[in-house]
Amino acid sequence: EVTREFTRNLPKAELHVHIEGTLEPELKLKLAKKNNIEIGQKTIAEVEESLKYDDLASFLAVYYPAMNVLIEEDDFYELAMAYLKKAAQNNVRHAEIFFDPQAHTSRGIAFSTVITGLLRATVDARALNIDACLIMCFLRDLSRESARQTLLEALPYKDKFVGVGLDSDEHNNPPLKFFNQFCTAQEHGLHVTAHADVDQVNSLAHIRELLEVIGVERIDHGTNIVEDPDLVDFAAKNKIGLTSCPLSNDFIAADMKGKEVLELLEKGVKISIHSDDPAYFGGYIGDNYYALAQKYDLTKEQVVALAKNSFEASWISQKQKAFYL
Ligand code: ES4
Ligand code: ZN
């Protein structure tokens, strides 16, 4: 009953996509050539051959080196524009896009180069009928001091992004490591979200820190919350958004987590479906909805409920939400 066309055409909000994770092999090769970067691959087939991972650490080991091809402001613009065109084809109406400044500033690329290129693409996205904005993520496996510096550098641009997030390797990197940065960001009126990747060590403790201490508005992935009924109850009552990414979870945890998604949907949690790193995990947002719907035999009503949750959990105004709900 739920077709590929249905999942593609349904109006959606994309709340969990890493712009660096939308770097397709073709653009990677093109930018490597333009910028004279040695990446060890010369053909699409060779790039595809390099896409081998089965957990978070092995994925990140492929993911970060690929970003070396992004040098100029125009490279960031082109990356984001290519993503936004794919998003438009998937009927994404609103996109809140993660970017990882430290993955670039650590290679000597200026923060202003990254954000200016990405921001220019979000402006041009209006012509595609997409309302797009940016979320700046801290890399949790880097130091607090690095996060502090990054936030300091970002604050002069605070009207150019809507919130902060937390991503990269979760192992031994609990949310409270960045308590100060989250507080400062909130004081400046920024929204807050953070990854609690599926099946990570101490995942429930991390989710509890995020909800009780930091006061996040969303949790990225976070489906392990089903193990704690009190936290599920809290998330439902407080309209905490959970952004689940089936194709990513299938790579990282060999499980799309459909059972957890359905249980949370049933319990009234604002859970929705997203694409994480679509160039790496085999599909954009429509593909993620379709894969989940196929595997778990979802009804149209369930798919529509997930898509409506994506607008409810988004950071658009109540008036804009009324338009989509
Ligand atoms: C990520 Cl799957 C995943 N987990 C954590 N951080 C990330 N950054 C990009 N993809
Ligand atoms: Zn993610």
167 contact partners, CB below 8 Å, separation of at least 6: 18, 98, 100, 137, 138, 139, 140, 195, 220
Pairwise CA distance, residues 27 & 145, whole Å: 33
Pairwise CA distance, residues 90 & 9, whole Å: 6
Question: Per the annotation, does 18 bind a ligand?
Answer: yes
- The arithmetic mean of pLDDT across residues 216-238, rounded, is 98
Instruction: Using a pLDDT cut of 90, give the percent of the chain over it.
Output: 100
pLDDT single digits (tens) 176-198: 999 999 999 999 999 999 999 99
- The arithmetic mean of pLDDT across residues 317-324, rounded, is 94
pLDDT single digits (tens) 11-66: 999 999 999 999 999 999 999 999 999 999 999 999 999 999 999 999 999 999 99
CA distances from 166 to 57, 101, 211, 241 (A): 16, 12, 14, 15
- The arithmetic mean of pLDDT across residues 131-137, rounded, is 98
Q: How far is the CA of 197 from the centre of ligand 2 (A)?
A: 8
Pairwise CA distance, residues 191 & 214, whole Å: 11
pTM score, two decimals? 0.98
Question: Pick from 275, 294, 316: which is nearest to 16 by CA?
Answer: 275
CA distances from 46 to 26, 65, 70 (A): 11, 15, 19
- Of all protein residues, the one whose alpha carbon is nearest to atom 1 of ligand 1 is 168
Structure confidence at residue 223 (pLDDT): 98
Question: Per the annotation, does 277 bind a ligand?
Answer: yes
pLDDT band for position 112 (cuts 50, 70, 90) = very high
Mean pLDDT score across all residues of the chain: 98
Structure confidence at residue 256 (pLDDT): 98
Q: What is the DSSP letter of 276?
A: B
Pairwise CA distance, residues 92 & 231, whole Å: 30
Task: Tell which atom from ligand 1 comes closest to the C-alpha of 168.
Answer: 6
- The arithmetic mean of pLDDT across residues 261-268, rounded, is 98
- The arithmetic mean of pLDDT across residues 277-285, rounded, is 98
Topology of domain 4-324 in CATH is: TIM Barrel (3.20.20)
Pairwise CA distance, residues 205 & 199, whole Å: 12
Task: Tell which atom from ligand 1 comes closest to the C-alpha of 248.
Answer: 2
- The arithmetic mean of pLDDT across residues 293-316, rounded, is 98
- Of all protein residues, the one whose alpha carbon is nearest to atom 8 of ligand 1 is 168
pLDDT band for position 84 (cuts 50, 70, 90) = very high
Our CA angle for 56, 139, 314, nearest 5°, is: 90
Q: How far is the CA of 1 from the centre of ligand 1 (A)?
A: 32
Question: Per the annotation, does 276 bind a ligand?
Answer: yes
Alpha helices of 178-257 — where are they, by DSSP H? 179-187, 203-208, 229-237, 246-253
Beta-bridge mates of residue 242: 219, 271
What torsion do the CA atoms of 10, 14, 19, 21 make, to the nearest 10 degrees? -70
Report the chain's terminal Cα–Cα distance, integer Å.
Answer: 22
Which of 16, 51, 59, 201, when mutated, tests ligand 1's pocket best, judged by the most ligand atoms within 8 Å of its CB? 59
Structure confidence at residue 306 (pLDDT): 98
Domain ranges of the chain: 4-324
Is the complex ipTM higher than 0.85? yes
Pairwise CA distance, residues 276 & 127, whole Å: 24
Our CA angle for 176, 180, 186, nearest 5°, is: 105
- Of all protein residues, the one whose alpha carbon is nearest to atom 5 of ligand 1 is 168
Q: How far is the CA of 66 from the centre of ligand 1 (A)?
A: 14
